[in-house]
């Protein structure tokens, strides 16, 4: 039995039973330099038994501090440390990625694409990439190797992706017109702009002040020639972020709605209170 950590955890009462601890479990986790969120799923159905999060409330952490917090939660949190995961699906969310058409992509040049975008040299072995087949796009990024090593050591099967490719794949744009899909949580905001069903902008922004939220959304509209009064905005992520932004949302973005769960049948009764648009990437994107 581990020690209680600062992790916020919502769980089904069945999570600690011997029936569950001996079952095939999947850990789905999204990491940022602001913290991480995760779900514990019973396989093969994918039933969500628990969701949790850990947040650095005083600014972004280093990759080393992120790893230390991750190890602390997975190894000592009482309801989590006793579990064995057969599969881990991990996502990393940061601003250091690039998205390009798959027809122009060569895996031998992945580090060059990323280095060009970031303006610095990237070691070839550091570059990872995801293919978003739905839109014929490839996302190139860097996933911290220390976290890959730790998570892959705790399971038989490990998969990594960048949150940008996950959010892009999970969005459901209108076939005609413009829709802007937003996923926001403490310290960051993902934005995907679709025109007639195809992505024209995919970006991630660091949110450091309350005004950043509207500023970056209006900037995304400006970059894509979009009238924010006419576009449909679809929001997902943390309810607290949208409560803080409610006046700005009403002032700038009249056509707005919240995303809904893709598979409501996969939520155990104990997790039914979680907002339908909350923990969006880990609960809807994998």
Which band of pLDDT confidence, cut at 50, 70 and 90, is reported for residue 59?
confident
Decide: helix, strand or coil at residue 87: strand
Tokens of 148: 């890959």
Cis peptide before 20, with omega less than 30 degrees from 0? no
Q: What are the strands of the beta sheet with 157-162, ordered from one edge? A: 8-11, 47-55, 35-42, 25-32, 87-92, 157-162
Residue 185 Rama label (left phi>0; alpha psi -120 to 50; beta): beta
Is residue 120's pLDDT more than 90?
A: yes
Predicted confidence (pLDDT) per residue in 64-118, tens digit: 999 999 999 999 998 898 888 999 999 999 999 999 999 999 999 999 999 999 9
Is residue 176's pLDDT more than 90?
A: no
Q: Please, which residues have CB within 8 angstroms of residue 246's CB and are 6 or more apart in sequence?
A: none
Tokens of 162: 């960048």
Q: Quick one: pLDDT at residue 2?
A: 47
Q: Find, among 107, 104, 124, the residue nearest to 115 by Cα.
A: 124
* φ, ψ at 55 (rounded to 5°): -130, 135
Q: Please, which residues have CB within 8 angstroms of residue 250's CB and are 6 or more apart in sequence?
A: none
Q: Quick one: pLDDT at residue 5?
A: 64
Name the residue with tokens 């570059």. 127
In this structure, of 2-16, 17-31, 186-200, 250-264, the range with the lowest mean pLDDT score is 2-16
Please compute the mean of the pLDDT values over residues 31-44 and round it to a whole number. Answer: 92
Q: Quick one: pLDDT at residue 255?
A: 94
Please compute the mean of the pLDDT values over residues 230-240 and round it to a whole number. Answer: 92
Predicted confidence (pLDDT) per residue in 6-28, tens digit: 888 888 877 766 666 557 899 99
Please compute the mean of the pLDDT values over residues 50-58 and round it to a whole number. Answer: 89
Is residue 168's pLDDT more than 80?
A: yes
Q: Find, among 54, 48, 51, 58, the residue nearest to 7 by Cα.
A: 54
Cβ count near 29 (within 10 Å):
22
Which band of pLDDT confidence, cut at 50, 70 and 90, is reported for residue 179?
very high
Q: What are the strands of the beta sheet with 97-101, ordered from one edge? A: 97-101, 137-142, 127-132
- pTM for this one? 0.92
Which band of pLDDT confidence, cut at 50, 70 and 90, is reported for residue 1?
very low
CA dihedral of 194, 262, 253, 216, whole degrees rounded to 10: -60
Q: Is the dihedral of CA 206, 262, 135, 177 positive or negative?
A: negative
Tokens of 106: 């060569």
- Mean pLDDT estimate for the chain: 91
């Amino acid at each position: 039995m581990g020690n209680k950590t600062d992790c916020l955890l919502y769980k089904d009462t069945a999570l600690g039973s011997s029936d569950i601890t001996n079952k095939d479990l999947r850990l789905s986790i999204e990491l940022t330099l602001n913290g991480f969120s995760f779900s514990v799923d019973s396989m093969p159905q994918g039933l969500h038994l628990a969701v949790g999060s850990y947040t650095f409330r005083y600014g972004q952490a280093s990759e080393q501090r992120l790893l230390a917090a991750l190890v602390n939660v997975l190894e000592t949190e009482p309801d989590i440390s006793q579990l064995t995961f057969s599969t881990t699906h991990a996502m990393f969310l940061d601003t250091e990625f690039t998205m390009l058409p798959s027809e122009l992509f060569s895996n031998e040049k992945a580090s060059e694409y990323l280095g060009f975008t970031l303006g610095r040299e990237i070691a070839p072995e550091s570059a990872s990439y995801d293919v978003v087949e739905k839109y014929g796009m490839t996302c190139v990024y860097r996933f911290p190797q220390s976290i890959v090593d730790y998570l892959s050591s705790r399971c038989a099967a490990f998969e990594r992706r960048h949150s940008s490719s996950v959010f892009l794949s999970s969005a459901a744009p209108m076939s005609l017109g413009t829709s802007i899909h937003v996923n926001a949580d403490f310290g960051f905001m993902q934005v995907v702009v679709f025109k007639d069903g195809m992505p024209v902008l995919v970006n991630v922004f660091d949110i450091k002040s309350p005004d950043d939220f509207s500023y970056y959304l209006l900037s995304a509209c400006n970059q894509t020639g979009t009238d924010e009064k006419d576009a449909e905005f679809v929001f997902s992520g943390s309810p607290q972020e949208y409560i803080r932004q409610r006046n700005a949302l009403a002032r700038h973005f009249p056509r707005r709605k919240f995303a809904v769960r893709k598979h409501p049948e996969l939520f155990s009764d104990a997790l039914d209170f979680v907002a339908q648009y909350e923990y969006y990437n880990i609960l809807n994107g994998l």
